[in-house]
A and B are shown apart, each in its own frame.
Chain A
Amino acid sequence: MRDVRSLILLLVSLLLVLVSFILIWTWGYRFYNKNDEFKVAAKIVITDSNALANRIRDSLQKIYNETLYKLDTQLDSTLLDSDSLKKQLDVRLKEFFRLSDEITAILNRRNNNYADFNVAKKKIDELKTKAEDLRVKNQIVDTENKKLNTILEQEKKSENGPEKNIKQGNVENNVQGEQPNPAFTVFAASELRLSAITINDDKESETSFAGQTNKLVGAFTVTNNNIQANNVEMVVVVMQPDGRILKNSEWESGSFNTAEGKKIYSYKTSFTYSKGEPKRLLFSLKTDKYQKGNYTMQVYYNGMMIGKILKTLS
């Protein structure tokens, strides 16, 4: 019994030694490939989110235009086909009625001979062929009509599509957050301001240099003539030149829902609002180091952007 346990322990030990070797090999392999990983990571980091979004939007626009062009071409060709079919039909109908008239004339003649009857018989056969031809053409016209209707319906759907998507997005937003009637949700943001402040001997003054900046101070006024509410939440997003969100501390940051998805905010405030009152809101953001470039401040209410301003630090 003890031998069996010893054997099991020996096997476990060997297994552990094997695991150690695998781990060391994995570590070595990862160390060897570390430079490649950094390259990949660097590629991800330098990706400009706006450029990426624009590229995606442009490519989508291109696809949409191409699809529309294709549909238009298809519709035009179908219309042309339809027109040509109509002309053909008219010609065939004329021939049909001409033959029909000729046969009637022959049959109505009193002094008909055998040859005349042969001619009439031939013409009747020709009439039959024409009638069959017309029937086939009629079927083709029907099919083309159906195709035309299908294309028209598709085009209608593609026109209504984005609208429907927006509606669905709103419904989702309503479920996730407290979204009152959209007609009353829009606050107007005005007098937006984002200033870089430098502090010298406890005195604050505005600067345009990133190196001198001690904090960023933002201000904006919101007004709404439709609602009076106890808990109005305004969200501010301040984006740094590198595309990252500027935050005071993790305790003051979070995320919120927009039509484009979740976004991270820099500052959030709640207040009681009286109808029509111009409410001035202020905030400040501090970080260790301020980058040179463009800072974007966006003001959101209920997931909708109601104001935007750009500040450049050199």
Chain B
Amino acid sequence: MYCCLKSFCLTVAVMVFITIPLCAQNRYIKKYENSLVFAGIEVGSKGVKMSLVEIEKTAFQNGAFNVMKDTTVNTDFISFTQPTYQATLNALNGLYDMAIKEYSIPADHVFTAISSGVNIQAVKENKQNWLDQLINAFRFNFNEPERKVSVIDVKEEARLSHLGIVPDSRRFNTFLIDIGSGNTKGGYFPNGNTRDFKLFQLSWGTKSTGNAAEKRLETDNSLENYSNALIRILNGVENSEIVYAINESGSYSMSDNIAFSGGIAWSLATLMYPELINNSVVPVTYDEVVGFNEKLLKNYATLSDYYVIKTSADKNMDMEVIEKEVKRVNQVFDHKSLMAGTGLLLKIMRQFESVYERKKFYLVKNGAVGWITAYVNQRSAN
């Protein structure tokens, strides 16, 4: 009885989560006249993500391919428990079904992959058989024994992210850094080709930095104490890891542009430049991020959706969209997380600030669909 109910409950939950995006929008609008639509389904650490990508012939020359839809079902696969496994499989099946039936995308235009984060965790916990089981069950469900489900490694994921986010015109002079919740990774192409990729990694991300600062608070949970703890943590991170990792990457002399992706880049871009809501990339300077960091400390209230809308000068902007996105940022990142992420971002940016040479900094908002987009593009080209 209990087991039946448990399975029933899980199935209903997955159905609900799949119904939400279905109900929200079950149609897409094409941007280009002559284009093809592909779907990329990625099994990630936190959940299963589907991106619908519209690709035109010239799209990768100007970096403006169109991501039509981005849907995520949270399943927490890396817990490696039976319920999360079942939820992940159901989500994978559900999204694949959705791509084929709801969006009428041919099966050979739907690509499936498993992210590096899942693979690393599976190796660490000796659970690679869970991945094999998931892939086989998925193939069996749709009777496609030959379907390719690639397991991507961290370097390939960073390389694909670069290919998916950075336009061709900036391919060989841009250093892409993805600040995640638990770590930071990225890199650049040092040899003028897209095969050789120089990987850059840090063991610190927004969440891990914030958690380390929280641990130092002891009894005083005030914001001031958190800020002081954060400063100490970040100074340590800078001295022990960031300086070394940046120097070792050799990226300073090779890159004119430093692009940051990840949740914190998205949130800063949205809060700092609401007027550029429709841009997937926004330019930023070190001083502007310093100013934003000060605002976080002294005037956090001005970053609320209400205040951002109230102070927007150009009332012809799509205020509804801005309000929604600012609200979403404030839901995903609370005050302390924003402080931790901004602090880490500033420490990395600082390594590229020089009196003699000015690097251009960018905040990328659509980094989450970067690698799967490039993967889709790479596979569709083949």
Contact = CB atoms under 8 A, between A and B. Distances in A.
Contacts, number: 82
A253 B269 CA distance: 13
A47 B313 contact: no
Given A52-B316, A249-B167, A250-B64, A9 B9 contact: yes
B1 A16 contact: no
B7 to A, nearest CB: 10
B13 interface: yes
B9 A47 contact: no
B16 interface: yes
Nearest to B365: A250
Interface in B222-238: none
Nearest to B281: A250
Interface in A235-280: 243, 248-251, 253-255, 260-264
Interface in A1-40: 2, 5-6, 9-10, 12-13, 16-17, 19-20, 23-24, 26-27
Nearest to B360: A251
Contacts of A249: 62-64, 167, 169
Contacts of B313: 260-262
Nearest to B63: A249
A127 B9 CA distance: 103
The bracket for how many chain A residues form the interface is: 35 or more
Contact of A16 (B13, B170, B276): B13
Nearest to B291: A176
Nearest to A248: B62
Given A47-B316, A254-B276, A13 B64 contact: no
Interface residues of B, number: 38
A12 B9 contact: yes
A67 interface: no
A73 interface: no
Contacts of B13: 16
A225 interface: no
11 contacts: A9-B5, A16-B13, A20-B16, A23-B19, A248-B62, A249-B62, A249-B167, A250-B282, A253-B279, A255-B275, A262-B314
Given A17-B12, A20-B12, A250-B279, 20 more contacts: A9-B2, A9-B9, A10-B5, A13-B5, A13-B9, A19-B16, A20-B19, A23-B23, A27-B23, A27-B24, A248-B62, A249-B63, A249-B64, A250-B281, A251-B167, A251-B281, A254-B273, A254-B283, A255-B276, A263-B314
7 residue pairs, one from A and one from B, having the closest CB atoms: A261-B313, A27-B23, A9-B5, A254-B283, A16-B12, A250-B279, A250-B281
